[in-house]
Amino acid sequence: MSAQTPFLVFSGTKSRYLAEKICKSLGCPLGQMNIQPFADGEFSVSYEESIRGRDVFLVQSTFPSSDNLMELLLMIDAAKRASANSIIAVIPYFGWARQDRKDQPRVSIGAKLIADMLSAAGINRLITMDLHADQIQGFFNVPVDHLYASSVFLEYIQNELPLNNLCIATPDVGGTKRASSYSKYLGLPMVICYKSRLRANEVASMRVIGDVEGLDVLLIDDIVDTAGTITKAANLMMEKGAKLVRAIASHAVMSDPATQNVEESALVEMIFTDSIPYCRNSSKIRILSIADMFAEAIRRVCNGESISSLYVI
C-alpha cells in the first residue's frame, strides 16, 4: 500500500475495530503503529513504517477514559515529527462535546479546550460525526467535515420499519431539530418529550407534547450515557398509549447502569452506531456500522471531492 497510495490510515488502541472495517472498505491495510505502555500508566507512540510526505488519517474516538484522547494527541505529535504531509484526525465520537458553552459561573468549556489541544498538536483537518452541538465546528481553525449517522439510520428505518404507523419522537427539547429533520424527510408526525433535571444524569420530571395513541414510536437521540432519559421517555410513551417504542442514537456511551436500564425499560429495540465499542450483552441493543460512510469520506477528502452528498439530512 505504501508504494501505491498517498495516504495511510492508523488507529488508536480502542478504535482499532472500526479502523479495520474502514480500511476493508477502502481496500487498504491498516497502518503499522506501536503504542507501548509503561508501568506508571504512561505510554509512547511510534509509527512502524515511513509516513514522510503522506496524508495520514488517525482513527480514534475520544470516549472515556482520557487515555483515548492522550493516545490521539501523541499520534498527532509523532506524525508531525515524522514529516507527514497532512494529519487528519478521524474522531467518530468527539468526547467532551456536552461541555460546549459556559452555562453557569466558573465552569470550563471542555469542547473548546479539546479543540485547542488537537489544533496545537498539529491536525490539518477533522472528520467527525454527530457532534452534540453543531457550533463546536467553530471551535476549530482547520476544516471540519461533520458527518451524520442519519444516512445509516434512514436506510434501517426505510427498509425494516413499517412507516404507515410510525411516529418520530425526541426524548428532550434539545433534540427537536434532529427529530424534526427525520420527521420532515420521512413525512411522519413528531412528538416531543419535555424534561427537567435536578442534576446531571438525573431526570426530575417529563411530559409528552403530542399524541402517540396507537402508534409505533421511534425515539431519536445523539448520545445515550446512563440511558435514564431515553428509557424514561419510552416508558412514558407506553403510558400514553403507544403501541411499541424503539430508539436510535448515534453514540453508545452506555455508562453503568445503562444496559440494565435499557433491558428493564419498555424499549423493544435500541439501535446505535459503532462509533464507540459496545461490549456488553443485551438482547435489545443492535449496532449498525458507520465504517463505509467514513471510508467514503476519507476517499473523497484524498481525491479533493465534495462530501456534501453524504449528508442525507
Residues that are catalytic: 195
Nearest to 149 by CA among 171, 135, 132: 132
